[in-house]
Structure 1
Amino acid sequence: MDRYDFTLGTAVVTGAAGGIGEQLAHALARRGSALALVDRDAERLELVAKAVRAVSGRPVATYVVDLSDDDATHALGARLADEHPDATLLINNAGVALGGTFEQVSEEEFDWLMAVNYRAVVTLTRALLPVLRANAGSHLVNLSSLFGLIAPPGQVAYATSKFAVRGFTEALRAELAGSVGVTVVHPGGIRTGIASSARSAASIPASEAAAGRAGFNKLLTYPPEKAAEEIVSAVERRRPRLLIALSARVPDVLARLFPARYSSVLALVLKAGGRSR
């Protein structure tokens, strides 16, 4: 396929009120895309849209939707397809985090995470795929995670959702080859608000949950604006797979070399890295 042309149509971005999604909105606007931005945070989403409109001459539409609501997500998909028949790019970026072992996480908590991180990706892709197919040169991006490459303890729900996104995207890429470009993205430790906004299983004591979020937040160092630029560049060049930051690339190599033992090997690597500082 030829390189993606950002000026041809509307780019739909979920999770656009902050983090990578916010930076994607700015990066796409700078390249001439019209935008349809989705998030559950109405106030933050409007601030992002206002900032983008100030520097872009293209339309910027906003949609306030909680993607954990399956019915609302289906309605959003139908509305986006109807209101943006010129859509040529869908970036399923929205995601939530949930800490806790499988036994600590309730069925309801697990389902909430899967609704946002996986089912919404499938629902919006299904709704917009006919539009993307109808518009030559279209592209689809689904954000998996470092935890779509490795599955650490205490992240069963999150890893399940991100491995599912990875499998869905890779299979879809094979099915759509030559008609719609498809990229799966595995970000490492990106400096966003996902740690501070992460939920912990209700069964975990508050002090333990707070300590876990604080520890997780220390690992998030890679600038979101740089991550967004890498994603946009991957779209333009039709890259099928993008790993962002060493915190994703190193575990990916270890998982390939030691598929059954990467957890213990990674722990040794991190321990050695700590001693060298």
Structure 2
Amino acid sequence: MDRFDFTRGTAVVTGAAGGIGEQLALALARRGSALALVDRDAERLEQVARQAGKLSGRPVTTYLADLSDDAATHALGERLVVAHPDATLLVNNAGVALGGTFEQVSEEEFDWVMAVNYRAVVTLTRALLPVLRANPGSHLVNLSSLFGLIAPPGQVAYATSKFAVRGFTEALRAELAGSVGVTVVHPGGIRTGIATSSRIAASVPAAEHEAGRKAFNKLLTYPPERAAAEIVSAVERRRGRLLIAVSARVPDVLARLFPAHYSSVLALVLKRVGPRK
């Protein structure tokens, strides 16, 4: 496929009110994209939309939606199809985090993570795929995670959701080859608010939660604007898979070399070198 043309059609970005999503909206605006931005934070979403509109001079439309609500997500997909028949890019970026072992995480908590991180990705892709197919040169981006490459203890719900996104996207890429470009993204430790905004399973002791949050925060060092720039570049060049930061690339190699024992090997590597960008 030819390189992606950012000035054609509308780019739809979920989770656009902060972190990678916010930086993606601004990066796409600089490339001249019209935007449809989705988030549940109305105030921050409007701020990002105003800034993006100034950068691009193109239309920027906002949509408030709680992607943990399956009915609301289906309704959002229907609205996007009607309002943006010119859509040429869908970036499923929205995501939530939840700490806790499988036994600590309740069925309701587990389902909340799966609803936002996985089911919303499938629902919005299903809704907008006919539009993308109808507009030649379109592209789809789904954000998985470092934890879609490795599955550490205490992240069972999050890792399950991100491995699901990875499998869904890789299979879809094969099915859509030659018609719609597809990229799966595995960010490593990106400096966003995901650690501070993440939920913790209700049964996890407060001290354990705080220790885990502090340890996780130390790994979040990679600038979100750099991550967004890499994603935009990957879309333009039609890359099928993007690993962002050494903190994603090293675990990926270890998981390939030591598929049954990468957790202990990775722990030894981190102990020796510490967090890396």
**Whole-Å Cα distance in 1 between the matches of residues 191 and 32 of structure 2?**
26
Q: Tell me, yes or no, if structure 1 residue 119 matches structure 2 residue 111.
A: no
The one-letter amino acid paired with 1:124 is L
**Whole-Å Cα distance in 1 between the matches of residues 33 and 274 of structure 2?**
43
Equivalent residue, structure 2, for 1:212: 212
Unpaired stretches in structure 1, ≥5 consecutive residues: none
Pairs within 5 Å for 1:7-86: 7-86=7-86
**Whole-Å Cα distance in 2 between the matches of residues 8 and 53 of structure 1?**
16
**Whole-Å Cα distance in 1 between the matches of residues 168 and 118 of structure 2?**
9
Q: Is the 8 A contact 2:31 2:56 kept in 1?
A: no
Equivalent residue, structure 1, for 2:5: 5
Equivalent residue, structure 1, for 2:266: 266
Pairs within 5 Å for 1:171-210: 171-210=171-210
Pairs within 5 Å for 1:125-136: 125-136=125-136
**Whole-Å Cα distance in 2 between the matches of residues 247 and 10 of structure 1?**
32
Give CA deviations for 1:169-198 in whole Å, capped at 9, x if unaligned.
000000000000000000000000000000
Indicate the SS of the match to 2:55: coil
The one-letter amino acid paired with 1:193 is G
The one-letter amino acid paired with 2:51 is A
Q: Tell me, yes or no, if structure 1 residue 100 matches structure 2 residue 104.
A: no
**Whole-Å Cα distance in 2 between the matches of residues 77 and 55 of structure 1?**
26
Equivalent residue, structure 1, for 2:158: 158
| Deviation (angstroms), 1:274 | 4.1
Q: How many residues align?
A: 275
Unpaired stretches in structure 2, ≥5 consecutive residues: none
Q: Using a 3 Å threshold, how does the CA distance of structure 1 residues 85 and 274 change in structure 2: closer, same or farther?
A: closer
Runs of 4+ deviating beyond 6 Å: none
Q: Is the 8 A contact 2:182 2:240 kept in 1?
A: yes
Indicate the SS of the match to 1:55: helix
**Whole-Å Cα distance in 1 between the matches of residues 30 and 273 of structure 2?**
38
**Whole-Å Cα distance in 1 between the matches of residues 31 and 111 of structure 2?**
37
Indicate the SS of the match to 2:56: coil
Identity of aligned residues (%): 86
**Whole-Å Cα distance in 2 between the matches of residues 211 and 265 of structure 1?**
22
TM-score norm. by structure 1 comes to 0.98
TM-score norm. by structure 2 comes to 0.98
The one-letter amino acid paired with 1:11 is A
Equivalent residue, structure 2, for 1:232: 232
